[in-house]
Amino acid sequence: MQKPFEARRVVVIEHDPGCPLDRFADWLDGVPVDIVRAHAGDAVPP
């Protein structure tokens, strides 16, 4: 069974500090977002 939208999370992989969420932030308003900063050594989830 699929989870309701409210229960989902979005994982954003930031590959460069100069590439933030920027315009996507409005689209993701209200959605839990986990930002993985790969450029800073954060582990990218499988």
Do 21 and 35 form a contact (C-beta atoms < 8 A)? yes
Do 12 and 34 form a contact (C-beta atoms < 8 A)? yes
For 1-46, the pLDDT digits (tens) are 666 665 678 999 999 999 888 888 899 888 899 999 999 999 998 8
Please report the pLDDT score of residue 1 as a whole number.
62
| Residue ranges covered by each domain of the chain | 5-40
Distance between CA atoms of residues 1 and 7, nearest Å = 13
The pTM of the whole model exceeds 0.85: no
